Structure 1
Amino acid sequence: MIEERTGKKREMQGKNGKKNSQKRDDPYNLVILEKRSSELIACLTGIWRRSVKETHLFLNDQEIRKIEAYVPEALLKVPVLIIAVNAENEPAAFMGADSGRLKMLFIEPEERGKGLGGRLLAYGIEKLGIRELCVNEQNPQAKGFYEHMGFTCYKRTDTDEQGNPYPLLYMRLSERKDVPV
């Protein structure tokens, strides 16, 4: 359960002492994490792995394991880490942000298609000022999702940030006012 991993109860408060938003009919609660236990990091790394296996079909198992070695450190270092906990009080998804840039967004495969990614990103846009992100070109579902959320591509690279042959698309939030959820 989330309170065991963070030492906090489900109705957590954000950095400014405000309770995190939750719609009445929405079974997810968004939680801003300041303390990140090793158990929680392992749980989120598992979400990352399962999500990547479902969405990053261009990566083989060896490549996934290689990248996964860096995930715990990234989860510890990202300045803002928000998790979505489900009705069972278990993490269902997470998002990391830094200085107006989305650094990571991963969702349990069985939780996909329920609006959770849109809710997390809309929260990030509204509350964290997210205006930029980077996505693998070979992940067309993610690219389409970000375009649906109002992002447009402004730059493409032939390799990822580690020099691997995985093209990246750099995207910015367009000037439109509405953010679909």
Structure 2
Amino acid sequence: MIREASAEDLDKILAIWLATNLEAHEFVEASYWQNQLLQVAQAMDTAEVYVAEDFGFIQGFIGLQGSYIAGLFVAQEFQGQGVGTQLLTFAKEKQSPLTLSIFEKNKKAIAFYEKQGFRVEKREIDAATGEEQFWMTSEAAH
């Protein structure tokens, strides 16, 4: 089930956010992600956040700021089970086309988004990490 996130979900959402970033971005210092936690918690107030929940367990979440995907994260134990696809499909029904930024070295996520109809629009260097990132856009919904 996908539902709007509540204040009670924040700790679990932040735990998924941190664990997933640490796992997916070993090329970025762990302290970078740990130092972003407070900012991410505050950003939850300015984004539309939806969680995928099953039997009371939050499996993942997506944060939208208009048509920008501020984050799509699935807990490691639920990856590869369609949770990310469900969240993305939900977001596409709300807003289309969608855009996002992603590190070039995050090959697994890039493959996921390409499978979902996203394409790279431009490349740039992320000022905070010095890493190359892609800006990707989805196809417009029909």
TM-score normalized by the length of structure 1: 0.72
Structure ranking higher on relative contact order (CA contacts 8 Å, 6+ apart): 2
Contact 1:132 1:173 in 2 (8 A): yes
User: Is 1:173–2:138 an aligned residue pair?
Assistant: yes
Instruction: After superposition, give the CA deviation of every residue in 1:42-79 in whole Å (9 maximum; x if it has no partner).
Output: 2210111111122112122222212223211122221x
User: Is 1:95–2:62 an aligned residue pair?
Assistant: yes
Q: Which has the higher helix share?
A: 2
> 1:117 — aligned with what?
84
CA positional deviation for 1:151: 0.5
User: Is 1:30–2:2 an aligned residue pair?
Assistant: yes
SS in 2 for 1:76: coil
What is the RMSD computed on CA atoms of the aligned residues?
1.8
Contact 1:101 1:130 in 2 (8 A): no
Cα distance in 2 for partners of 1:127, 1:77 equals: 17
Cα distance in 1 for partners of 2:105, 2:46 equals: 26
Structure 1: where are the runs of 5+ without partners? 1-28
> 1:86 — aligned with what?
54
Instruction: After superposition, give the CA deviation of every residue in 1:155-175 in whole Å (9 maximum; x if it has no partner).
Output: 111125xx3312211011135
SS in 2 for 1:69: helix
Q: Say which one has the larger Rg.
A: 1
User: Across the two proteins, how many residue pairs are aligned to each other?
Assistant: 142
What amino acid is aligned across from residue 97 of structure 1 in structure 2? L
What amino acid is aligned across from residue 52 of structure 2 in structure 1? A
What amino acid is aligned across from residue 22 of structure 2 in structure 1? K
User: Is 1:76–2:45 an aligned residue pair?
Assistant: yes
Contact 2:62 2:69 in 1 (8 A): yes
Q: Which has the higher strand share?
A: 2
Structure 2: where are the runs of 5+ without partners? none
